[in-house]
Copies of this chain bind each other. A is one copy, B any other.
């Protein structure tokens, strides 16, 4: 119902999201989308790519008099600060861990290889734009979605933070971890990798609060299946879990099962190992998911690879502006991805109506 189409490439005219199925009557201010996009730019440039994306959203359709019209909502961000020459030498050598080799095979070499083309992290900008709209829709029914970094390389967030602390603290530092002490260690881990010409990965957790029970579908369109699919649509994701996730496979059923109780006249669970989802449906508890990111593949360190034109072994050093860790930038992307799926399911179930109010 809330169908998002992306287009654009890293070094083309720009990137865009088109949302088909956005309800009419949603107040939408480009400034709100800018605010979400800005979250992709951590304040401290040393931990992320030197490419500064100062994105300016153009709403090309679907908004009239400040409200969504119910027609497809198209949001475009022109590309700026492009330096294509950095990639020229990579045409023949496959970059280890990068999508360039299978992409070349798939598209017969016609793919736009500048800046990673369509596989570029640049494509996460339109996910964030679509997510900004989804978050507003969810906000209209009292649902909030927020993500934070829980691991960078080997540094884990060990403290149990309240939802309030996460919401307040995440975007105050450059690694998007709400605990400042852990955040400092994470930042150090990124800088260390960077100085060694290497890169690191990490884990982002995302929480959604306020969903009523019974949202979702069983089996093939289950809420967790759609969340998993959307998570793996984000570049560099290698793992996804809900609630206890992989850890659920090593605890007893009597421990993993969340006991029900009645609280303030509502059915709640005393623990939330299920991460808010049972049988593909919300159970009324907060949705909790975690997304694992691999370290970025583009590193200055010399690596063994193959010259694809001459089919012989060679070496490659990937220079240019690359992120030593994309996790900080990925936090708002995970937030957006989760929000898109939740908005879609809330629209399917009728929890969010097709028209928000009525215009005079």
Whether the Cβ atoms of A99 and B242 lie closer than 8 Å is no
> How far apart sit A360 and B108, CA to CA, in the bound complex (Å)?
9
Q: What's the Cα separation between A18 and B108 when bound, in Å?
A: 22
Chain B residues within an 8 Å CB radius of A232 = 222, 224-225, 227-228, 242, 280
Indicate whether A295 sits within 8 Å of B260 (C-beta atoms), given known contacts A64-B111, A106-B281, A224-B232.
no
A interface residue count range (under 10 / 10 to 19 / 20 to 34 / 35 or more): 35 or more
Task: Assess A278 versus B98: contact at CB under 8 Å? Given A259-B303, A259-B305.
Answer: yes
| Per-position binary interface string of chain A over residues 5-20, scored 1 when its CB falls under 8 Å from any chain B CB and 0 otherwise | 1111100111110101
The answer to whether A61 and B13 have CB atoms under 8 Å apart is yes
**Contact of A278 with B101 in the complex, beta carbons under 8 Å:** yes
Copies in the assembly, this chain = 4
A159–B242 Cα gap in the complex (Å)? Answer: 28
A62 to B106, CA, bound (A): 15
Over the window 210-249 of chain A, the binary record of Cβ atoms lying under 8 Å from chain B Cβ atoms (1 yes, 0 no) is 0011111011101011111111110101111111111011
A282 in the interface (beta carbon within 8 A)? yes
- Residue A94 at the B interface, CB < 8 A? yes
Question: Contacting A292 at CB < 8 Å: which of B24, B248, B349?
Answer: B248
Are the CB atoms of A64 and B110 closer together than 8 Å? yes
Chain B contacts for A215, CB-based, 8 A? 106
Q: Which of A52-70 contact B (CB under 8 A)?
A: 58-62, 64-65, 67-70
User: Do A111 and B304 touch across chains, with their CB atoms under 8 A apart?
Assistant: no
Q: Does A160 contact B (CB under 8 A)?
A: no
Question: For residue A65, which residues in chain B have a CB less than 8 angstroms away from its CB?
Answer: 110
Whether B299 contacts A110 by the Cβ 8 Å rule is: no
State whether A233 and B249 are in contact (beta carbons under 8 Å apart), knowing that A242-B238, A279-B119 are contacts in the complex. no
Contact between B359 and A67, CB atoms less than 8 A apart:
no
